[in-house]
Amino acid sequence: MTASAPLLEARALSRHYAVSRGMFRAKGSVRALDGVSFTLRDRETLAVVGESGCGKSTLARAVTMIERPTAGMLAVGGTDVIAADRATLKRLRPIVQMVFQNPYASLNPRKKVGTLLEEPLAINTDLGTTARRDAARAMMDKVGLRPEHYHRYPHMFSGGQRQRIAVARALMLHPRLVVADEPLSALDVSIQAQVLNLLMDLQRDLGIAYLFISHNLQVVRHIADVVLVMYLGKIVEEGPKDAIFNRPAHPYTRALLASTPMLDPRSHGTAGDAFARPSETGARTLRRERIVVRGELPSPLNPPGGCAFHTRCPHVIERCRSEVPVLEPLGKVRVSCHRARELN
Amino acid sequence: MALLEVENLRVEFGSEAAPLTAVDGVDLALDAGEVVGCVGESGSGKSVTALAMMGLIEFPGRVSAKRLEFAGRDLLALGQAERRLLVGKDIAMIFQDPLASLNPCFTVAFQLMEALRVHGTDEERASARKRRERALELLRQVEIPDPEARLAAFPHQLSGGMAQRVMIAMAIACKPQLLIADEPTTALDVTVQAQVLELLLRLQSEQGMALLLITHDLAVVAETARRVIVMYAGQVVETGPVPGIFEAPQHPYTQALLAALPERNRDRARLEAIPGVVPGQYDRPYGCLLHPRCAYALERCRAERPLLSGPQGRQVRCHFALDAAGRPTGGWRAEAPAAIGEERR
């Protein structure tokens, strides 16, 4: 592991799944992840946004080494994961830990909090019972759980408290990267704020990096340093948070931003003036014109040719239907759109 | 006269001796053609209120109300059979998870036509061909592409957004006067959510029906409703017009909910989280239900439950309702903070 290597590096990372379409037809292939490249440095938060089926969770499974990508390069701390043997993977896995979406499902209901927290240590380290217990108690204090919670079962906690337990468990092995797959979407607004604060405090104190997967753009805007927008397994836009939110370059990013409901509709002005249309009737002045894209995500089994977004894009031209755009730098961001330059 | 009038609605579950009060004295009035949002955290009684109005609370649950009137008819006095004629026809409802609400064993056409067979016009009840025509027309109305083919589809062949459109088509099949939408877009992606909300509002204004939109997402309400009801632990804590209520909330809970949103904390590192959780069956506090979580709680809040008060259309349930600058009024003076520190974690 070299000191200068970025914490996480992906080059043309792909994960294709073979799908049976019946006895007499050739197997189909779902390109859940298709040529994704990015870098993540220590102490940074990389947010991945996109709709269901865009490959966010497949990316999480690849990064956490649960699944081996089918092509490309993925390096954790400079060590290649794809070619790694079992011993190397075992050494790498503690570096990357994961927090799941639903804390009601991700905690074993038959185990006490203490056992849940000590399990990673029992498996991955040779610490003794006392040392494990001390480590668990110290971590509970860090995430805001009281000492008496050590002997309680998950069902005795509220959703927010459970997510704290899940975060504590992920941190037991002192990872450098925590992959959080929609960690807030099962929680209420007031509880979301508690957990979001906790995640940011932990990053400040422990210097961990996050791969933060979310469909909630408001949350992403709060926590992220770099944002990666995905559509049907491909990156459509990537760049620093401020650039993405203030000057989104890809039509899909703009559509996502414009579709996100906001308390103060005026703040939508940033979502690209090409899309700002006046509301139609006086009776509904409170509401801005919201629909930017029609239709839904196409089936990943049968993705459209050319630019994957062309079926829903308001700016589609002939070239989009035939030619696949590549991710190219444009100002501070990288964007994959044939018309990015003329539209911006 | 209001289309729907509810006074002192109570819903209880569990034993008579130690009941779980899910809805605790809710007053609600809805005019014809009005869009009203109802917000609150999980466990605040939003959905149970809606189910009680639909008459869908089953046996162990107990519904009582001083008044429960729809279009001048007393729903409490109606018998089961009469109520069934009303519910699903004049009051319709759509639910959060469309794929769980549709019956997986029957086609879209069957389920759409079932509503028409029970509640449709005389002509529709008599003729299957008429019902089929109407089902097709409904699918067109909710903008489902290729509606002829979709009629024969089973729910598992539909995406979430399509399934919710089918649910909406079923709900509007009998031209209801009131549509209750319980978290209609929570299970959907954000671009599809925008499309479904747009569709709901278009149908609402075309058909002039009232729409009660239940959601936990304050931003959705801010963009769709004219008036909003904020619920907490089974009670209405604040009602008011949009956007006024979001610009100057008068109840500390509304204020805290808004302050917890990342959108209102753009330049700050930490969010203003609300400590604690919604009280459950056994930890329902004495006095104001919010006081263990409230930043302004005083002795009076712990001792005495506030009433919903204020002018028609802008009511708040707080002893020390907040002023336009967000400060408590009514002679509020800060206490030593020891008493509220306990709940912080």
**Residues B47-70: pLDDT tens digits?**
999 999 888 888 888 999 999 999
Task: Find the mean pLDDT for residues B283-296.
Answer: 90
Q: How confident is the model at residue A163 (pLDDT cuts 50, 70, 90)?
A: very high
Determine which of B164, B189, B220, B267 to mutate to test the interface with A (most A C-beta atoms within 10 Å).
B189
- Number of alpha carbons in the 13 Å side-chain half-sphere of residue B280: 7
Average pLDDT over residues A52-57: 87
Closest partner residue to B256 among A160, A190, A297, by Cβ?
Answer: A190
**B37 forms bridges with which residues in the sheet?**
B213, B228
d(CA B194, CA B188): 9
Q: Predicted ipTM?
A: 0.83
Selection from A22-26, A316-320, B327-331 with the highest mean pLDDT: A316-320
- pLDDT band of residue B30 (cuts 50, 70, 90) is very high
**CB-CB neighbors (< 8 A) of B292 in chain A:** none
Q: How far is A62 from chain B (nearest CA, A)?
A: 23
pTM: 0.87
Structurally, chain B folds into a number of domains equal to 1
pLDDT at A287: 43
More confident of the two residues B320 and A19 = B320
**B194 vs A222: CB contact, 8 Å cut-off?**
no
Residues 6 or more apart whose CB falls under 8 angstroms from that of A273 comprise none
Tell me, yes or no, whether B138 lies in a domain. Answer: yes
Rounded-to-integer distance, Cα B137 and Cα B202, Å: 16
- Residues from chain A that touch B273, judged by Cβ atoms under 8 A, are 190-191, 193-194, 197
pLDDT tens digits for B145-154? Answer: 889 999 999 9
Q: Do A215 and B162 touch (CB under 8 A)?
A: no
- pLDDT at residue B326 greater than cutoff 90: no
pLDDT on residue A286: 38
Q: Of A263, A264, A290, which to mutate for an interface test with B (greatest number of B Cβ within 10 Å)?
A: A263
Q: Answer whether B260's CB lies under 8 Å from A184's CB.
A: no
CB < 8 Å to A292, chain B: 191, 194
How would residue B282 be classed by pLDDT, with cut points 50, 70 and 90?
confident
**Nearest-angstrom CA–CA distance, B137 and B134:** 5
Nearest chain B residue (CA) to A216: B190
pLDDT score at A266:
56
The mean pLDDT of A151-155, rounded to a whole number, is 94
The string of pLDDT tens digits covering residues A286-311 is: 344 555 687 888 888 888 889 999 99
Q: Which residue has the higher pLDDT, A53 or A86?
A: A86
Chain A contacts of B220, Cβ < 8 Å? 261
Q: Which of A253, A323, A283 is nearest to B226 (CA)?
A: A283
Please tell me the predicted confidence (pLDDT) of residue A33. Answer: 92
Closest CA to A286 of A264, A307, A269: A264
CA atoms within 13 Å, Cβ hemisphere of B330: 16
For residue B148, give the H/E element and its range: helix B147-151
Among the partner-chain residues A194, A259, A263, the one whose CB lies closest to the CB of B246 is A263
The minimum CA-CA distance between A122 and chain B, rounded to whole Å, is: 29
- Inspect the interface and report whether the beta carbons of B256 and A267 lie closer than 8 Å: no
Interface probe for B, chosen from A156, A188, A256 (most Cβ of B below 10 Å), is A188
Task: State pLDDT tens for residues A321-339.
Answer: 999 999 999 989 999 999 9
The minimal CB distance from A261 to the residues B217, B265, B273 is found for B217
- Asked whether residue B130 is domain-assigned, the answer is yes
- For residue B148, what are the domain limits? 101-173
* Per-residue pLDDT at B336: 60
A vs B, Cβ pairs < 8 A, gives: 129
- Give the lowest-confidence range in A274-283, A321-330, B164-173, B277-286: A274-283
**Is B93 inside any structural domain?**
no
Place of tokens 């019972």: A129
pLDDT surpasses 60 at A120: yes
Q: How confident is the model at residue A60 (pLDDT cuts 50, 70, 90)?
A: very high
Question: How far does B320 lie from chain A, in Å, by closest CA?
Answer: 22
At A20, is the pLDDT very low, low, confident or very high (cuts 50, 70, 90)?
A: confident
B191, B251, B343: best mutation site toward chain A, by most A Cβ within 10 Å? Answer: B191
Is residue B116 in some structural domain?
A: yes
Neighbours of B329 (CB within 10 A): 13
Nearest CA in chain B to A267: B263
pLDDT band at B284 (very low <50, low <70, confident <90, very high): confident
Cβ-defined contact of A261 to B216 (cutoff 8 Å): no
**Residue B248 contacts A where some CB pair is shorter than 8 Å:** no
| % pLDDT > 70, chain B | 97
pLDDT in tens, A255-289: 999 888 888 765 544 443 333 333 333 333 334 45
Query: B173: exposed, middle or buried (C-beta count within 10 Å: 0-12, 13-18, 19+)?
Result: buried
Residue B198 lies in a domain: no
Q: How far is B42 from chain A (nearest CA, A)?
A: 7
Q: Is pLDDT at B267 greater than 80 in this prediction?
A: no
B285 preceded by a cis bond (ω within 30 of 0): no
d(CA A244, CA A238) in angstroms, rounded, equals 8
A286–B223: do the CB atoms touch at under 8 Å?
A: yes
In a domain, B210, yes or no: no
Q: What pLDDT does A39 receive? A: 94
Length of chain A: 344
> How much is the mean pLDDT over chain B?
89
Closest CA relative to residue A337, chosen from A246, A240, A252: A252
What structural domains and CATH numbers belong to chain A? 8-224 (3.40.50.300), 248-343 (no CATH)
Find the mean pLDDT for residues A123-129: 93
Among the partner residues A158, A200, A290, nearest to B197 by beta-carbon distance: A290
Per-residue pLDDT tens over the stretch B101-144: 999 999 999 999 998 998 888 888 889 999 999 999 999 999 89
The reply to whether B189 touches chain A by the CB within 8 Å rule is: yes
Tokens 């001048």 correspond to: B72
**Closest to A116 measured CA to CA, from A96, A101, A136, A130:** A136
Q: Which two tokens stand for residue A269?
A: 């002005």
B260-299 CB burial, b ≥16 within 10 A, e <16? bbbbbbeeeeebbbbbbbbbeeeeebebbbbbbbbebbbe
Domain annotation covers residue B23 = no
User: Judged by CB atoms within 8 Å, which residues 132-171 of B form the interface with A?
Assistant: 145, 159, 161-162
Average pLDDT over residues B271-294: 87
pLDDT score recorded for residue A106: 93
Q: How confident is the model at residue B266 (pLDDT cuts 50, 70, 90)?
A: confident
Q: Which of B223, B270, B272 to mutate to test the interface with A (most CBs of A within 10 A)?
A: B223
- Residue A74's DSSP bridge partners are A10
Mean pLDDT computed over every residue of chain A: 87
Residue B136: name the closest of B155, B121, B116, B122 by CA: B116
- Cβ–Cβ of A189/B266 closer than 8 Å? no
Between chains, do B258 and A218 touch, taking CB under 8 Å as contact?
Answer: no
Sign (positive or negative) of CA dihedral A325, A328, A334, A338: negative
Q: Is residue B64 part of a domain?
A: no
Determine the distance from the C-alpha atom of residue A218 to the mean position of all C-alpha atoms in its chain, rounded to a whole number.
14
A197–B273 C-beta distance less than 8 A: yes
**pLDDT confidence of B277, banded at 50, 70, 90?**
confident
Strand pairing class (B178-182; B210-215): parallel
The strand pair at B235-241 and B315-316 is best described as antiparallel
Confidence of residue B80 (pLDDT cuts 50, 70, 90): confident
